[in-house]
Amino acid sequence: MVTDRLKSSGIGFSTDEPLSHHSTFRIGGVADVAVFPSDIPELIQTIDILSGTKFTVIGGGSNIVFPSDGYRGTVVFTKALRNIVISENKITAECGVMMPYLSSAAMNAGLSGLEFLCGIPGTIGGGVRMNAGSYGREISDCIESCKYYDTEKKQICLSENNDLGFSFRSSIFADASLVVLSTVFALTADSQDEIRKKCDDILSKKRSSQPYDMPSAGSVFKPIDGIPAWKLIDECKLRGYSVGGAKISEKHAGFIVNTGNATSDDVKKLTEIIKDKVFALTGKIPEEEIIFLK
C-alpha cells in the first residue's frame, strides 16, 4: 500500500485530509492520502513511490476546485519547499515559494520585475505551470530557466525559457507528468522605494476591484479574442448570478466566489451556464483558467 511505503520512507503524510483547508476557494472533501515532502529530494522520492497510482501535485490550491466528494488518490503538497537563493540579479526559487513572498524578497534585494506577483495567492510551481500574470505581465517574462522532474522518465531536467512552451496561462507543465522543482528568475536592479511603490499600486488596484474578502480561485476564464471574460459575462447580465453557494462576484464578474457553502458541483454548474451564455453572445466557448480536479 502507498501508506506503508510512505511510512517506511519517513516522509510526512496524513489520511482523510480535508482539501478545503488547502484551497483558496474553501471547497473540497477529503483526500485518501496527503503527502507533505520537506524538500526536493523528498518530493522526487514521493513521486517515485506513487508511480502507477492516482496522484496529483499541488502548490497553494489557488486556482484549483477540489471535488466536494473527495479525491480518491494521493495529493502531494509542495508548500514546505520554500528555499530561495539570491545571487546578483538572479533569484532561484523552489516550487513551494509563495508568489507574494518571492515578490517581497525581490523588493528587499532591490530587484525589479516580479512586482505583479505581489497579489497572486499561489506558489511558484503553480505560477510557472499556468504562466501566471496580471496587469500585462506574465511570470514567463522573468524566467531564465526551470528545473523539473519528468515523472515518466524519472529524470531531473533543466530547460531554458524558450523550451518551456509558455503561452497565455499555459506551459509544458500543463502535462501533469512534468513537475516544477525550482525556477531561476533574471531581474533588474532598482531602488526599494520604487519597487515598493509599484507593489502598493498593484495591491491597491486589486483590493478595490477584486473580491479579496471572499473565497475564490481567481479569474475563472481566459479572454476571448483579447476581450476580458468579465466584460462578456457582464454583457450577458450574469453579474451576481448564483448556483447554490457559488456566485459570480458583484465586484468583479470574472470571479466566482464561495458565499459560504458552495460545492464543486455548484461551481461547475455555474461555469457551464457562463459558457452557454457567452457562446450564445459570441459564438465562442470561453476556456477556463481554473482547474477542476477529478
- Helix H, strand E, coil C: the string for 138-152 is EHHHCEEEEEEEECC
- pLDDT at residue 61, as a whole number: 92
Return the DSSP state at 4.
H
Classify strands 55-58 and 71-77 as parallel, antiparallel or unpaired.
Answer: parallel
Confidence (pLDDT) at 1 = 85
**Distance in angstroms (rounded) separating the CA atoms of residues 9 and 122:** 28
Rounded Cα distance, 210 and 247, in Å: 14
Percent of the chain with pLDDT over 90: 96
When pLDDT is averaged across residues 224-243 and rounded to a whole number, the result is 96
Place of cell 546578483: 88
What's the mean pLDDT when you consider all of the chain? 96
Q: What are the phi and psi torsion angles at 67 (to 5°)?
A: -65, 135
The pLDDT value recorded for residue 16 is 97
The single-letter code of the amino acid at 236 is C
Residues with a known catalytic role: 169, 219, 287
The pLDDT value recorded for residue 19 is 98
Instruction: Say yes or no to pLDDT of 86 above 90.
Output: yes
Q: pLDDT digit string (tens) for 65-82? A: 999 999 999 999 999 999
Q: CA neighbours within 13 Å on the CB side: how many for 8?
A: 5
Specify the amino acid at residue 33. Answer: V
Reduced DSSP (H G I as helix, E B as strand, rest coil) percent helix, strand, coil of the chain, to 5? 35, 30, 35
pLDDT of residue 135: 85
Percent of the chain with pLDDT over 70: 100
Q: How many C-beta atoms surround the C-beta of residue 221 within 10 A?
A: 22
- pTM of the predicted protein model: 0.94
- Residues 294, 292: Cα–Cα separation, whole Å: 6
pLDDT (tens digit, 9 = 90+) per residue, 171-183? 999 998 999 999 9
All 3 cell numbers of residue 273?
Answer: 451556464
- The beta strands (E) that lie in the chain are given as 13-18, 30-35, 55-58, 64-65, 71-77, 84-87, 90-94, 111-112, 133-134, 137-138, 143-150, 155-160, 178-186, 188-189, 216-219, 242-243, 246-248, 255-258, 291-292
pLDDT in tens, 188-212: 999 999 999 999 999 999 999 999 8
Instruction: Copy the grid coordinates of residue 256.
Output: 466566482
143: pLDDT strictly greater than 90: yes
Q: Would you state the cell numbers that stand for residue 123, as one nine-digit string?
A: 506558489
How far apart are alpha carbons 258 and 241 in whole angstroms? 12
Which residue is it, cell 502548490?
Answer: 59
Q: Look at residue 114 in the predicted model and tell me its pLDDT.
A: 97
Confidence check: pLDDT of 136 > 90:
no
Overall average pLDDT of the 28-34 stretch: 98
Q: Quick one: average pLDDT of 100-129?
A: 96
Encoded amino acid at 145, one letter: S
Q: What is the pLDDT of residue 193?
A: 96
